Amino acid sequence: MNRARVARHAGQGALLVALFVFLFPIAWLFSTAYKRAADIFAIPPVLTFTPTLRNFETLFEFFNVPQLTLNTIIISFGTAIVALTLGTPAAYALARLDRWWAHGIAYFFLAIRMIPPVAILIPFYLMMRDVGLLGTYWALIILDAMQSTSFVVWMMFGYFRGVPKEIEEAAVVDGCTQWGAFIRIVLPTVVPGLIASALFCILFAWNNFIFPSFLTNSQTRPLSVALVSAYGSNEINWGTMGALAHFSVLPIVALALLLNRYFVQGLTRGVH
C-alpha cells in the first residue's frame, strides 16, 4: 500500500513541476496587465511590482472586448459543430467499410490538413469575395471547419475502429436500426474521443491568426487578431496585451474544466 501511495505522490509532484513550467509564462503574461509599462521591463527584472488597473481601462477604451470575445466564441464553436457534424458520421462510415479504399479516403482527409495556409489563403480570399461572404463569420468557419473536419475524421476513425462490431450487431439483432445503433450504442463509447475532438476544434479555431486576419473585418474580428494588432504602438502595448490575454485564455480554461467531467474512462463493460 505504501509503495502505491509514494508512487502517487511522486506522480503528483512531477505534475506540479510540469504545471509550473507550463504556467509560469502565462503568469508573467497576465502580470503585465497589472503593471505600469515602465515596470514590465524594469532592469534588472524582478517579480515585485505595484499593481494598477490602467491597462484594463485602456483595453476597454480601444477594443470592444465583448464583441471580440463573442466573435471568437461564434467562430470557434461554429467550427467545432460543423466539423463534428460532418466528420463523425464520415469517420464511422469509413471505419465500418470493409473495402481497401476506405483507408485511402481516410488518408485523403488527412492530406487536407497538410496544406500550408499561405497556399490557399489568397485563392480562398478571392473565392469568398466572389460569393459575397468576405468579412462574415461564415468565411472563417468554412475554412477552419475544413481543417477541423479532417482532424475529426481521423481522430474518430481510430476510435470507431477500436469499437468491436459485435456491439452494434447485437443491438440490430435486438431490433435497433443501423442509425439508432450508431447513436445509442456506439457513440457513447467514444465520448472521450468526441470531447477531445471538440476541444481540439475549438482550440484550433480560437487561436488561429492568419486566416481571420485576412477574412474578417473589424466587426467580426476575433481576439487573436486584436491581440497582435494591440502590440506595437506606444499607448497600446504589453500591458494591454496582457489584459486582453485574460479574455483569450480564461474562457477556454473554464470550458476545459466543464468538459472534464465527461472526459472519463471508456464505458465499455465486459463485451462478452
Partner 1 sequence: MKPSQTTSRRMALGMTAGLGLAAGLATGRSAVAQTTAPMTLNMACMNDPFATVLVRLAPLYAQRTGVRVNVDILSYPELLSRITADFVGRTRNYDLSTMDIVWAGQFAEAGHTIELGPMIQRDSAEIGLDDIYQAAILGIGNFRGRQIAFPFAAYVNVLAFRRDVYERAGLQPPQTMEELISSAQRLTDAPNNMYGWAANGRRGPPVAQDWMTYNAQIGGSILGTDGRPAINSPANARSLTVYRDLFRISAPPGAVNYDWAARHEAFRQGIVAQHQIWTISIPSYENPEISRIVGRTGIMLAPTAAGMAKRYGIGGWGLAINAGIDERRREAAWGFVKWASSAEVQRQFLDANVGVFTRKSVVNDPALRARFPFLSVVDESLTNGDADFRPRIPQYPQIQDLLGTAVNSVLVGTADPQRSLDDAQARAVRLF
Partner 2 sequence: MIGLPALLYMVLVALWPLGQGLYYSFTDYTLTRPGRVNWVGWENYTDMFADPSARRAILNTFVFTFAAVGLQLAVGLGLALLLWRESRFNRIALALMLIPVTVTPLAVGLMFRAMLEPDFGILGYWARVLGLSPTRGFLADENLALATLILIDVWEWTPLMALILLAGLKSLPTDILEAAEVDGASRFQRFWRIIVPMLLPAIFLALVMRSMDAFKIYDSVFVTTGGGPNDATNVLMYHAAKIGLEFFQIGAASAVSTFMLICVGLLAASFVLMIRAAESRLGAR
Interface with partner 2 in residues 111-130 (CB under 8 A): 111-124, 127
Interface segment toward partner 1; rule CB under 8 A; list 101-109, 144-152, 216-224, 258-266: 216-224
**Which one of partner 2, partner 1, none is in contact with 11 (Cβ closer than 5 to 8 A by kind)?**
partner 2
Interface segment toward partner 1; rule CB under 8 A; list 91-99, 170-178, 224-232, 256-264: 224-232
The verdict on 101 binding partner 2 (CB under 8 A) reads no
Among 20, 24, 28, 41, binds partner 1 (CB under 8 A): 41
**Which one of partner 2, partner 1, none is in contact with 30 (Cβ closer than 5 to 8 A by kind)?**
none
Supply the minimum distance, in Å, between the C-beta of residue 198 and partner 2. Answer: 11
The verdict on 143 binding partner 2 (CB under 8 A) reads yes
Supply the minimum distance, in Å, between the C-beta of residue 234 and partner 2. Answer: 16
Closer to partner 2 at the Cβ: 63 or 109?
109
Closer to partner 1 at the Cβ: 62 or 263?
62
**Which one of partner 1, partner 2, none is in contact with 134 (Cβ closer than 5 to 8 A by kind)?**
partner 1
- Class of residue 156 by CB neighbours under 10 A (exposed 0-12, middle 13-18, buried 19+): buried
Closer to partner 1 at the Cβ: 63 or 151?
63
